[in-house]
Structures are given as structure tokens and as C-alpha cells.
Amino acid sequence: MGVDLHTHTTASDGSDSPAELVSAAAALGLSAVAVTDHDTTEGLAEAEAAASRAGIEVVRGLELSLEWGRGAMHLLVLLIEDRHYLSSRLVRVREGRTRRNLEVVELLRSLGMDVTLEEVREEGGSGTIGRPHFASLLVKKGYAPDIPAAFDLYLGRGRPAYVERFRLGPAEAIAAAHAAGGVAVLAHPLTLGVEGGRLSAVLEELSEQGLDGMEAYYGAYDPPTRRSLIELARRHGLVPSGGSDYHGRFKPDVKLGTGRGDLLVPDEVLAELRAAVAARRSPAPHRA
């Protein structure tokens, strides 16, 4: 059946509501789907209610953008038990996102674009506002031909309307994941901008900080890349996790469960992540 442990809903920057996402995952025959919205767990209650009707498991999660300095490092927190604790730890992150959104609006207006924060909020509905909502608005207003172009022209890193925001560091984020009862999984590791031995060195450092897994079965990676990442994860004692990174219409080439058409994340991945939680809770063996 398979699982999908990386998806987004209208609680952040996906186009499907949590209930719609869960229903779609059940229709695909997935055994479990993780709701991993950016910096928020607000979609989990709706998703879990829908799951009880659809007969599918919802894995509590979220995705964090981390302060790292050498590229884009994202962390998936999965199997969250205490989402209220984690939410309280993310107050500064959400405040930083709010300030960032205001600055992006001002930058777009300085480029001659007639956009307001109210219009961006309409794109985001009741969820956390992110750059895909800005991109969607720019497309609607004719400032960009499509969402990828809006990022390439204005919203991507290094472009004229890109704004940095407050992020947690890796060690702090991993500790928060564990304190909330979950596991910490490095998302889409190739966005770190390091490969080969340098990627291995980064994984060694993160493993020492408590990292539990790495996304190897990723929707945008081809099969040979996935295989090499699975091997790399194993060498560092990490669970090779995976998911589609589904965003609905904001990433139309990425499909729920199957990514770009050939993704299959085995059920055993979720079992291994649960085992990692159990191992962390088990007392260390006594040595005489």
C-alpha cells in the first residue's frame, strides 16, 4: 500500500484542506499519510477527524525551515505526541514569518506590483501564509505566467522580493522534536547544496545532535538518487524516510503518494521511525 510522510494542506501552503488530503490519500490506497505543514500543527485535528471516517492513519507532523547558512535545510518532525508543546516553541518562528510577509508585500509594491497583504491572506485562507500564496496571487494578477516563474523572477532566494526570516537552528529543532515525543527527519537533503563527502560530514554532525532519519524516498528524486540516499542514511544509522512533498495545485507536477509518478514509500519506513522513538525511550543497558 505504502505511505506518504511529507504533505502540505491549506493549514500552510497546500491547496487541499486537511480533510481533502486525507480522503485523497485513502482513495489512493495509502496506509498512512503525514500532515507536515510549515511551522504549524493547526491542520492535524481536521485531518485526524477525516481519517477516522476514511480508515487511514494520519501521522502527526510539521516541517521546519532551519537556520543553517550553507543552503536550505528543512526538518520534518513526525509522530508528534504533544503538538501543543511544539506549537508553543514555534511562537518566534511564526512571528518571523508574519514580519517576512509584510516585507515581501512592500518589496513587491516597490517593484510596481499592485498587491496587498489582505489579498495574499485570501489566497491562504485560514492557514499559515507562505511564498506559494504570494506566487499564486502574482499569477492571478498577470505578473508571472505560472507559480514556478513567480519564484524564479521574484520570490526565490536571491530574487528581488526574497526576505529571510527567523529560524531555529538544527540542534534546537531536533531537541524540540524529541521533547514533543516525535522524530526528526532531514527533508530533501539535496537542497542543502552539498554532495558526496560533504553531505556525509553534515549527516555525521546532525546525527550527533540526535537526527533520527533522512528523506531518501523523495518525490522529486529519480530511483538511482533514492537508492544512493538510502545507502547513505543507513551508513549514518538514520532511518531512510520519504514522501511526495505534495502541495496540490501549488506544485502541480507532484502527485500525492507517487510524487512524479514512480514513488513508493514502503510501510516499513513508518515502522522504523516508530522503533526509533521506542529506542530513545528505552533505558540504556546497565554496564558493570
Cell numbers at 46, concatenated: 481536521
**pLDDT digits 0-9 by tens, 69-78:** 776 799 999 9
Residue 8 pLDDT > 60, yes or no? yes
Q: What is the Cα–Cα distance from 86 to 173, expressed in whole angstroms? A: 10
| pLDDT at residue 288, as a whole number | 45
**pLDDT digits 0-9 by tens, 126-161:** 677 888 899 999 999 999 999 999 999 999 989 999
Task: Write the burial class of residue 272 (CB in 10 Å: 0-12 exposed, 13-18 middle, 19+ buried).
Answer: middle
Q: How far is CA 227 from the centre of its chain?
A: 21
Whether this prediction's pTM lies above 0.95 is answered by no
Beta bridge pairs of residue 73? 66
Smallest CA-to-CA distance from 37 within 79, 74, 8, 60 is with 8
Residue 264 pLDDT > 50, yes or no? yes
Residue 283 pLDDT > 70, yes or no? no
Beta bridge pairs of residue 77? 62, 184
Average pLDDT over residues 167-180: 93
Cell numbers at 102, concatenated: 509584510
